[in-house]
Structure 1
Amino acid sequence: MRAVAYSIKSSEKEPLAIANRKKHDITLISNALSEDTVVYAEGKEAVIVFVDDELSEKVINRLADLGIKYIATRSTSVEHIDKQAAVSRNIRIANVPASILKEGSQEALSMALAAETILNLDRWQHKKCLGSACVCSRACDQHNELFDSLNEGDHEK
């Protein structure tokens, strides 16, 4: 999957590279996502963001116009994302579930955030359910039923 990661700090580059293992073509930039930097998403399928990035309705619409289908946030919060705008433009959103974050060093936290972000890209690429990382799963019974049935199928293999 082709993606651009916004607001990347130097300490996040190595964990993302390790977690990615060259599976996805990810462009890392230090600029925050905004109306001025949305153009870096051209030709990509996904954007990887953080809580400092602007994901207003206007930015979401521009992302959709550029062909973005997925927004993966490297945080547990999705408050910075206009979810209504994303839904209206058929863009899927994933976050990092709080349950995967364990107490530890900053390095361990960076690796956990990177690993979950890459896992979300992997699942989207293979058209698999994201489970608790899928933002819609918190508001959609149909999604939860689908996730339950997919997990049952996984256990039968």
Structure 2
Amino acid sequence: MEVIAYMRVVAYNIEEFEKELLAKANAKVHDLTLISNGLNFNTIHYTEGKDVIIISGRDLLDKQMLEALWEIGVKKIITRSTSLEHIDMQYASVLKMHVANTPAADQSPESIAIQTISNLNNWGNKRCLGESCHCSFECDKHTHTK
């Protein structure tokens, strides 16, 4: 049995129905803090001490928000959406932030929760996220041509 590296994570804009799905997919591996509020400058303090943030398509990560997250120490972002339009990907690239989404054809809440935790597990074990990965720089596991 593979041991998965533990990560400290905060997830924003969590709907009530997502709590159980994320908890089940996580299987008590990662330290998940689930917040119903969206990510903004009034809630950003919840990211302090976290390795990863999980956001929804409703969370806007513009240049100012990305800079604030970087200053707090966040280097990895997972969006629970297929779209990346709510993230300034050009600036995330400048900061060399790792960005992932949940691109599987099955966009059911259960599938999104599983994809999200799978991304965490792969990052924790220093593996490439494959089609979920949207880093625009070369990392030690994968050369990106996006």
TM over 0.5: yes
Quick one: distance in 2 between partners of 1:128 and 1:146?
9
The superposition leaves residues 43-75 of structure 1 with CA deviations (integer Å, 9 ceiling, x where unpaired) of 001000001012111111111111111000111
Q: Take 1:11 and 1:52, find their aligned partners in 2: how far apart are those partners?
A: 17
**1:86 to 2:85 alignment:** no
Question: What TM-score do you get using the length of structure 1 for normalisation?
Answer: 0.81
Letter in 2 for 1:96: T
Long gaps (5+) in structure 1? 103-108, 148-157
The 5-angstrom pairing of residues 8-87 of structure 1 reads: 8-87=14-93
Q: Once superposed, which parts of structure 1, at least 4 consecutive aligned residues long, lie more than 2 Å away?
A: none
Q: Which residue number in structure 2 is paired with residue 130 of structure 1?
A: 129
Q: Deviations over 1:100-125 (max 9, x none)?
A: x16xxxxxx11100000000011111
Larger gyration radius, structure 1 or structure 2: 1
Give the residue type in structure 2 aligned to 1:86: A
In structure 1, the residue matched to 2:114 is: 115
RMSD: 1.8
Alignment TM-score, normalising by the size of structure 2: 0.87
Q: 2-side partners of 1:146 and 1:115: how far apart?
A: 22
Deviation at 1:81? Answer: 0.5
Query: Which position in structure 2 is the counterpart of 1:95?
Result: 101
Unaligned runs of 5+ in 2: 1-6
Counterpart AA for 2:101? N
Q: Percent identity?
A: 45
